[in-house]
Amino acid sequence: MTTSRGAAAGDDADGRAQLRPADRADLLGVFRIEKAVFAQPWPYAAFEGLLDAPGFLVAEDEADRDRSPTAASEGSIDAGNVLGYVVGDLTPNHGRDIGHIKDLAVHPGEQGRGLGRRLLRASLSALAAAGASVVKLEVREGNHRAQSLYADEGFEPARRIPRYYGDGEAAFVMRLDVGEWVRGRNADGS
């Protein structure tokens, strides 16, 4: 069983993905993954407006920076060497800054290998370093895979918002105490 403190089965064991802050050159790949993964994708300009967010990170393919193995093998999505991304920003709140995981997606050909977990953890660490005391996110009521990932990292459901998404689906707002998360990760050495 995977816990938030240990590595998940399939965690990018080959070390192929390098995580780093997103930059303008990544946006087309990010946008192409967004369109492939989500029925209601964000517009390109939304990503552009969040480039300076402390938790906007990409996973890039270190195996071959000039070619995208996932694009070649999947044949449908050319995301350059971007394998996945997470968008996390910070809102000042009278000394208890609030982090917000706004978006997280992994190239369809890379899913199920632990890359989403790595991206989430890296973004949470970046938000903690930037001063977040709490991090929140919204997740589709029917997205049990994502809910499980978030719960495994320590997120707890805070409330349900009916008809949150444009197609009428409800969302769960989930919340994480960043201080507790950091202490737990430090205690386990992960």
What CATH number does residue 31 fall under? Answer: 3.40.630.30
Position of tokens 């990170």?
57
What number of other Cβ atoms are within 10 A of residue 70's Cβ? 22
Verdict on whether the full-model pTM lies above 0.75: yes
Question: Does 1 reside within a domain?
Answer: no
Question: Does 28 reside within a domain?
Answer: yes
CA–CA gap between residue 31 and residue 38 (Å, rounded): 10
Q: What angle do CA 129, 112, 178 make, to 5 degrees?
A: 20
User: Is 83 within 8 Å of 17 (Cβ atoms)?
Assistant: yes
Q: Which residue has the higher pLDDT, 1 or 102?
A: 102
User: Is 155 within 8 Å of 174 (Cβ atoms)?
Assistant: yes
Question: Does 123 reside within a domain?
Answer: yes
Question: Does 3 reside within a domain?
Answer: no
20-24, 91-95, 112-116, 132-136: range with lowest mean pLDDT: 91-95
Domain count, the chain: 1
pLDDT of amino acid 114: 95
Among left, alpha and beta (phi > 0; psi -120 to 50; other), residue 152 is: alpha
Question: Does 4 reside within a domain?
Answer: no
Question: Does 5 reside within a domain?
Answer: no
Query: Largest alpha-carbon pair distance within the chain?
Result: 48
Question: Does 11 reside within a domain?
Answer: no
Closest CA to 59 of 39, 82, 31, 40: 82
pLDDT digits (tens, 9 = 90+) for 100-115: 999 999 999 999 999 9
pLDDT digits (tens, 9 = 90+) for 68-91: 444 444 446 687 899 999 999 999
Question: Does 27 reside within a domain?
Answer: yes
CA–CA gap between residue 106 and residue 108 (Å, rounded): 6
User: Which residue segment(s) compose the domain that 102 sits in?
Assistant: 17-188
